């Protein structure tokens, strides 16, 4: 699992990692905020983080984009996103 160290807090144990995954971000004509729209597993855009296609590596995200004929550029790109436990269940 890819993770980012957050440091110890009252709510988390000192060794707990916050889960991160690579996702394909895209922008919509009514862009709300940078990185606010994702590509779902079926290749369609979604605003729901829990529906975003998630990958453990950049290579897997690139292969997904290629398979689904998604052109990576300045408006559609691969990046890291943090997910809560609830997001990971979706």
Instruction: Give pLDDT tens digits for 8-21.
Output: 444 444 345 567 89
Q: Is 67 helix (H, G, I), strand (E, B) or coil?
A: helix
pLDDT digits (tens, 9 = 90+) for 20-61: 899 999 886 555 565 579 999 999 999 898 899 999 999 999
Please list, in sequence order, all residues whose beta carbon lies within 8 angstroms of the beta carbon of residue 42, skipping any fewer than 6 positions away: none
| Token duo for residue 28 | 């919509």
Identify the CA nearest to 17 among candidates 83, 63, 87. 83
pLDDT digits (tens, 9 = 90+) for 62-89: 999 999 999 999 889 999 998 887 777 7
């Amino acid at each position: 699992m890819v993770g980012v160290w957050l440091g110890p807090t009252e709510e988390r144990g000192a060794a707990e990692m916050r889960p991160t995954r690579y996702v394909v971000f895209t922008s919509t004509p009514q862009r709300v905020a940078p990185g606010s729209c994702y590509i779902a597993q079926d290749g369609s855009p979604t605003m729901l983080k829990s529906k975003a296609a998630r990958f453990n590596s950049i290579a897997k995200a690139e292969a997904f984009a290629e398979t689904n004929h998604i052109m990576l550029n300045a408006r559609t790109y691969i990046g890291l996103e943090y997910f809560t436990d609830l997001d990971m269940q979706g």
